[in-house]
Structure 1
């Protein structure tokens, strides 16, 4: 029970950081990866509790790695195009 409360507190801390930190793309991506890691822990504990196969955990890790790679490629593309990862310096009317 204590482990579940710890995981729940970590999950809500990750969501709080994600919703409050909107200036840099890198901190947003890091908080998303933290949330995915906590979801992985929840899924792993749930599947172990009921003695299910852990094949779905491998699929979940594959999709989370693809999500992380996509976010990092967007970050590199934005830094190469604009020079930084501040959201307030971008204009929607610029090409």
Structure 2
């Protein structure tokens, strides 16, 4: 029964991360933090589910490698955006 509660908590974390991702889209840093929060909640959901069915947890290591690559790519985009534009507002771009 506690596994069901844990899954609900992690699903709630996922929903909250998506709400923050959709509503706070002015700053790139907040968007990246909400994406990392979503990845963290997905990691916990996968960890509970894979341990519940007694499956090998090797897939979690692959998932963590891809999430670290995603985080470092987002951070490098943030740094290059701040160097070129001076801030992380999406409104400062000119998409022409």
**Normalised TM-score (structure 1):** 0.95
Kept in 1, the 8 Å contact 2:29–2:88? The answer is yes
1:16 Cα deviation from its structure 2 partner: 0.2
Q: Deviations over 1:27-60 (max 9, x none)?
A: 0000000000000000011110011111100000
Q: Which has the higher helix share?
A: 2
Which residue number in structure 1 is paired with residue 24 of structure 2?
A: 21
1:61 aligns with 2:64: yes
Name the counterpart of 1:10: 13
In 1, Cα distance between the equivalents of 2:8 and 2:63?
A: 23
Match of 2:78 among 75, 80, 85: 75
TM-score (norm 2): 0.94
Deviation at 1:80, TM superposition (A): 0.4
**Any stretches of 5+ residues in structure 1 without a counterpart?**
none
Aligned residues: 93
CA RMSD of aligned residues (A): 0.7
Alpha-carbon separation, structure 1, partners of 2:48 and 2:42: 10
* Structure 2 contact 11–45 (Cα < 8 Å) conserved: no
Structure 1 segments (4+ residues) deviating >6 Å = none
Q: In 1, Cα distance between the equivalents of 2:47 and 2:24?
A: 28
- Contact between 2:46 and 2:60, CA under 8 Å: does it hold in 1? yes
